Amino acid sequence: MKTAQPIAAAIGPMAITINEGADLPANDSTSASMAIGDSFEGTLSPVGDADWIAIELEAGQTIRITLDGTGTDPLNDPFLVFYDADGIRLASDDDGNGGTNSALIFTATESGTYYIEAGSFRDRSDGTYTVTVSEAEPLTPLDALDWGGETVPGSEDGIITVYFAPAGVTLDGYTSEGFNDYEIQQFMLAFEYVSAVADITFVVTTDPNADLRVVLDTNEIPATGPNSFLGYFNPPGTSGAGIGVFNGNSWDRAPGGSLDEGGYDFVTIVHEFLHALGMAHPHDNGGGSAIFDGVEDAFDDYGDYDLNQGVFTTMSYNTGYPGGTPGATNEDWGYEAGPMALDIAVLQEKYGVNTTTNSGNTVYALPDLNAEGTYWLAIWDVDGVDAITYDGARDTVIDLRPATLEYEEGGGGFVSQAENISGGYTIANGVVIENAMSGSGDDILRGNDAGNTLDGGNGSDSLYGGNGQDRLVGGAGADYMEGGADTDVYVVGVSGDVVVEKAGEGAADTVESSITYTLTAHVEVLRLQGSADLNGTGNSADNALVGQSGANILSGLAGFDILTAKAGDDVLIGGAGLDWLVGDEGADVFVYEAIDDSLVGQEQRDLINGFEHGVDLIDLSAIAGEDTLEFIGTAEFDGAGVGQVSYASWESLGVWNIVSIDADGDGEMDMQIFVNLTDTMSASDFIL
């Protein structure tokens, strides 16, 4: 039954307590329902019973569901499951609400009916329970990696002491056989990876009461079998907090093996060490943490957006990048070497940010071999002009976007790697890497929100600038280049290069071309490069076309265009509408092909600048069709049926000449051209 105050209907929804009544089924035929703000009280009986309760959600709504044992005969160890309308399990929780009670947070991606299942862990209990539903803030992946918000006690000063237990010292029930120098070196290297991203320093001490105490066992823990384990570290706030035990039988105790960077056992050190610092697995709710969205199992279950992988968090049991496209891994390489992007964010929340790491101009080179020293690394870089590079022949992806830390593509970072290589980079949240350069393969390069330089090298590459003022260099091979928002520069050198700009993505997007080139839509500027004889053509927008030292033909087409010649004998064709044509060294020709190329009046006539009398020419030969225009100097049109060209001085802004054309000989002015020339003009200045 439902109970509520009568005034509820007048003032809107209120919290309601709902009682189960008749026993409910554990399927979608249930008669029970509840809404956000409601509580539901029910009973599981006999042992193994479960109840389903329906709830309607809108896409984007986030709710927190709790399942507690309550009443005089409380349900022992409640187990909470959440299903969609088709009965597909979406999420579950055990012990996430204190003690053995359960809780989970869920964000609906679709509107519709969902189902809450109230049950007991492994169907082993009966008793009374209460389900509550409340609004909540959406979880992020970081909520699943934080062990109860705990930090190492005494670490507030930024220093954590470490004690490597010598032979004979017993901690947590295991007696240490002691560490060799190489093993201590590798532990310290793992610590250095953390110090590089977080504001903490690790100091080795002989004090057995150190913040972290580590045992290496070589004779009590079996190397293999059901009782074997690689290692563990007790998190803060737990029994034996700060004590770590590692199985020396499981790793190579000398350089060149699995304990080197990128090796499986080096990951073990980092993973367990992060537990000691207060981090949790993404696949369970240790320390009251959440669980990654979509993850049900620890192994081979990557969850939503495939975030449950080592390349995104070292706390995952799916080490390396098994859900990606790497080559073969080996015990000695192919795994993550330090905290990854999601881990870095949690560590920095807990311990502060290291603000000095990689403060200069840093180059991060992608590996080209599956071999010792190949591993995954999340870049933490605080300043400088930096680059990710690759100089090999493999197809390569270089992605400069940082991790978003959300449940979405890129939440844990975007992977940069050479094809079939089990190592590469992601970029931590808050980091800006400016540039990317790849080798001779067919590569994909993606920029970020900063101004990037993307250089594809050889091969047929695809370059995406993203936001920011980017420079995209296709290099040899036919390349696809898409600049994205803001004003971008494209370097074109092959006839098969494709440049794509969308409307409104930049005010002066520019192509620098070493070949004859026609601007594609929404690109405004063309600059010819080199010294070869090249042609450049605009589009229907307002363009700026700039030549080089060769003999160029520049054609503006429609729009208000500015055509600028350089050294060389150039041809400038403004095309329809008002244009500015600028000559330079060499004998330049300014071509008019139709009357509407330069109409009458100050707002419609072209301007020719840099015209040199006796050297340059104005070509009007196409204006009168098959007839020839007559130059009449400063005289007026006579309307005698023969097209005529005259000029007059204009001294408003210095001495200019205005050339007027009567194309059909009717005595009416059809065209005008503004010429920045103080000399007297003659028929020799024209091609008529």
| pLDDT tens-digit map of 365-393 | 999 999 999 999 999 999 999 999 999 99
C-beta of residue 471 within 8 angstroms of C-beta of residue 489: yes
Q: Is residue 508 part of a domain?
A: no
For residue 9, is pLDDT > 80? no
- DSSP one-letter string for 519-537: PPTT--EEEE-SSS--EEE
Using the CB atoms, write b or e for 33-42: b if 16+ within 10 Å: bbebebbbeb
- 3-class SS at 270? helix
- Within this chain, do residues 122 and 150 fall inside the same structural domain, yes or no? no
Given a contact cutoff of 8 angstroms between Cβ atoms, the answer to whether 176 and 166 are in contact is: yes
The mean per-residue pLDDT over the stretch 257-273 comes to 96
Angle, helices 181-195/264-276, rounded to nearest 10 degrees: 60
Report which of residues 128 and 18 the model is more confident about.
128
**224: in domain:** yes
Sign of the Cα pseudo-torsion (366, 422, 464, 478, in order): positive
pLDDT at 281 exceeding the cut of 70: yes
Question: How many domains does the structure of the chain reveal?
Answer: 2
Domain containing 36 — which CATH number? 2.60.120.380
Please write the tens of the pLDDT for every residue from 133-163. Answer: 999 999 999 999 999 889 999 999 999 999 9
Which helix (H) or strand (E) segment holds residue 264: the answer is helix 264-276
Q: What distances in angstroms separate CA 123 from CA 75, 291, 426, one per listed residue?
A: 11, 21, 42
What's the start-to-end Cα distance of the chain, in Å? 99
- Considering the domain architecture, whether residues 30 and 92 belong to the same structural domain is answered as yes
Torsion of CA 538, 544, 549, 550, to 10 degrees: 10
Percent of the chain with pLDDT over 90: 88
Q: What is the DSSP letter of 165?
A: P
Same domain flag for 21 and 127: yes
Q: CATH number of the domain that 172 lies in?
A: 3.40.390.10
Burial tier of 157 (Cβ tally within 10 Å: 0-12, 13-18, 19+): exposed
Domain assignment of residue 634, yes or no: no
Residue 379 domain flag: no
Tokens of 517: 């080139």
Place of tokens 């803030």: 137
Q: What does the pLDDT look like over 515-533, one tens digit per residue?
A: 999 999 999 999 999 999 9
Domain-located, residue 412:
no
SS3 272: helix
Range 159-184 average pLDDT: 97
pLDDT given for residue 96 in this prediction: 83
In sign, the C-alpha dihedral spanning 205, 208, 211, 214 is: positive
Residue 320 has pLDDT above 50, yes or no: yes
H or E element, residue 89 = strand 89-94
For residue 409, give the amino acid letter.
Answer: E
Answer whether residue 328 is part of any domain: yes
431 vs 293 pLDDT, higher one: 431
Residue scoring higher pLDDT (393 or 5)? 393
Residue ending a domain, among 357, 378, 395, is: 357
**Given this model, what pLDDT does residue 368 score?**
97
The pLDDT tens digits of the residues spanning 540-590 come to 999 999 999 999 999 999 999 999 999 999 999 999 999 999 999 999 999
Q: Which of 651, 559, 656, 650 is nearest to 609 (CA)?
A: 656
- The number of beta carbons lying within 10 Å of the beta carbon of residue 203 is 11
Let me know if residue 399 belongs to a domain: no
**Residue 625: what are its φ and ψ, rounded to 5°?**
70, -130
Q: What is the mean pLDDT of residues 319-344?
A: 92
d(CA 483, CA 506): 9
Burial 515-542 (b: 16+ CB within 10 A, else e): bebebeebbbbbbbbeeebbbbbbbebb
Q: What is the pLDDT of residue 12?
A: 38
The answer on 264 and 239 residing in a single domain is: yes
| Each residue's pLDDT tens digit, 584-642 | 999 999 999 999 999 999 889 999 999 999 999 999 999 988 899 999 999 999 999 99
Q: With bands split at pLDDT 50, 70 and 90, how would you rate the model's confidence at 654?
A: low
Provide the whole-model pTM: 0.89
Same domain membership, residue 286 and residue 246 = yes
Q: Domain containing 114: what range?
A: 17-138
Q: Give me the residues paired with residue 79 across strands.
A: 94, 119
The pLDDT of residue 98 is: 83
Q: Which of 138, 163, 189 is the last residue of a domain?
A: 138
Residues 101 and 175 placed together within one structural domain of the fold: no
> By the 8 A CB rule, do 251 and 172 touch?
no
- 341: helix, coil or strand? helix
Would you place residue 285 in the very low, low, confident or very high pLDDT band (cuts 50, 70, 90)?
Answer: confident
| Domain contains 424 | no
Asked if 176 and 170 count as a contact pair (C-beta separation under 8 A), the reply is yes
- Closest listed residue to residue 279, CA positions, set 146, 150, 412: 146
When pLDDT is cut at 50, 70 and 90, the band that residue 14 belongs to is: low
**130 and 220 share a domain?**
no
Q: Is the peptide bond before 326 cis (omega within 30 degrees of 0)?
A: no
582's enclosing H/E stretch is strand 579-582
Max Cα distance, the chain (Å): 119
Query: Which of 328, 357, 386 is the last residue before a domain boundary?
Result: 357
Average pLDDT over residues 167-176: 97
Q: Which residues pair with 161 in a beta bridge?
A: 203
Split at pLDDT 50, 70, 90, the class of 470 is very high
Higher pLDDT: 436 or 627? It is 436
144 in the same domain as 256: yes
Judge if 147 and 132 occupy the same domain.
no
Per DSSP, helices labelled H in 310-356 are 341-351
Note the pLDDT tens digit of each residue in 17-60.
889 989 999 999 999 999 999 999 999 999 999 999 999 999 99
Token code pair at residue 341:
């992007």
Q: Are residues 340 and 352 in the same domain?
A: yes
What pLDDT score does 353 carry? 98
d(CA 302, CA 634): 83
How many beta carbons lie within 10 A of that of residue 495, not counting itself? Answer: 9
- The confidence score (pLDDT) of residue 669 equals 96
291 and 177 co-located in one domain? yes
Same domain, 205 and 343: yes
Distance separating alpha carbons of residues 509 and 490, to the nearest angstrom = 8
